[in-house]
């Protein structure tokens, strides 16, 4: 593998993660040789944005002359993509938090994981100085390579094996996906009663800022933390009367979980 600072890269995928990585790598001085995607129109569009030499929808025809091949597709598509790729000499990585690296090492002699711990949405710019990259490989030279790649886009890398990375991914799903879904449910609930959802913006911002500044356990407030059973029962009755079974169950489960965690402290 070449040791110059800027690498020749093949981006496999054209979704949110692939698009974001392609652009930040290109803007950091790396050369995007090819963009490969099942969606040829998306591949062409991304290739134009990063001045890639080629775009295609045939995984079996990727160039042999890249230093790095980044598979940034949905988790359930990774194995199928791997099977279609030729046995290249460059380092092949996937960007998944949950897919085991065995899907790569069963085929490629140079393999690794390059998982950016962040939520990605097409068209939304991200500051990679604030995004950790979780890396993994069985060879120290590959880990050094991936550390350099992360540093080249401003990120700090952490070496974690498949098992540890999967635990991180579970926590990330709870924080990001579940947390966001609760916001969706709360918004739907208040709009049913013709209440303005935007009035919660400052609360959302302060909740996040406080959790980061003080730690989540130290910043917890509310009736469940106080052991205020009357308020909890009142809320549950109001939610029950709205026939919102999902929200009722979640309110009950979360309240019990919070009380179980903080109840010993109430008796101190």
Q: For the chain, what are the domain ranges?
A: 8-160, 166-266
> Of 48, 39, 51, 33, whose CA–CA distance to 14 is shortest?
39
Measure the CA–CA gap between 161 and 150, rounded to whole angstroms. 17
The single residue listed with the structure tokens 């980044």 is: 70
pLDDT at 229: 96
Query: In sequence order, what are the beta bridge partners of 68?
Result: 9, 91
Tokens of 200: 């919660």
> What is the residue whose two structure tokens read 């208040």?
190
Whole-angstrom Cα Rg for the chain: 23
* Better-scored residue on pLDDT, 5 or 18: 18
Cα 159 from Cα 181, distance rounded (Å): 30
What is the distance between the alpha carbons of residues 157 and 254, in angstroms, rounded to a whole number? 34
Residue 228: name the closest of 263, 203, 204 by CA: 263
Nearest to 92 by CA among 150, 137, 133, 56: 137
63 in Cβ contact with 10 (< 8 Å): yes
Kind of pairing between the strands at 31-36 and 91-94: unpaired
* CATH code of the domain made up of 166-266: 1.10.1040.20
Percentage of the chain beyond pLDDT 90 is 93
The pLDDT tens digits of the residues spanning 211-247 come to 999 999 999 999 999 999 999 999 999 999 999 999 9
- Of the chain, the percentage scoring pLDDT greater than 70 comes to 97
Mean pLDDT of the chain: 94
State the pLDDT at residue 5.
77
Q: What is the pTM of this model?
A: 0.91
Distance CA 7, CA 84 (A): 23
Backbone angles phi, psi at 68, to 5 degrees: -140, 135
Task: Give the CATH superfamily of 8-160.
Answer: NAD(P)-binding Rossmann-like Domain (3.40.50.720)
For residues 104-109, give the mean pLDDT: 94
DSSP type of residue 99: S
């Amino acid at each position: 593998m070449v040791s110059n600072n800027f690498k020749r890269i093949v981006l496999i995928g054209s979704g949110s993660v692939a698009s974001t990585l392609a652009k930040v790598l290109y803007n950091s001085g790396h050369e995007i040789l090819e963009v490969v995607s099942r969606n040829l129109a998306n591949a062409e569009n991304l290739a134009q944005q990063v001045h890639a030499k080629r775009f295609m929808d045939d995984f079996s025809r990727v160039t042999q002359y890249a230093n790095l091949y980044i598979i940034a597709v949905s988790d359930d598509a990774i194995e199928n993509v791997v099977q279609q790729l030729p046995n290249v000499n460059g380092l092949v990585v996937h960007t998944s938090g949950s897919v085991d690296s065995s899907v790569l090492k069963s085929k490629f002699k140079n393999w690794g994981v390059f998982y950016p711990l962040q939520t990605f949405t097409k068209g939304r710019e991200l500051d990679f100085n604030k995004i950790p990259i979780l890396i993994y490989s069985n060879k120290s030279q590959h880990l050094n390579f991936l550390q350099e790649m992360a540093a080249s886009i401003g990120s700090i890398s952490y070496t974690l094996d498949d098992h540890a990375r999967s635990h991180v991914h579970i926590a990330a799903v709870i924080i990001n996906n579940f947390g966001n879904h609760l916001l969706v449910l709360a918004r739907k609930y208040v709009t049913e009663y013709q209440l303005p959802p935007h009035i919660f913006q400052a609360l959302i911002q302060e909740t996040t800022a406080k959790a980061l500044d003080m730690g989540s356990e130290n910043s917890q407030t509310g009736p469940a933390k106080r052991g205020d059973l009357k308020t909890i029962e009142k809320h549950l009755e109001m939610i029950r009367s709205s026939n919102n079974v999902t929200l009722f169950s979640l309110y009950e489960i979360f309240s019990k979980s919070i009380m179980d965690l903080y109840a010993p402290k109430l008796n101190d």
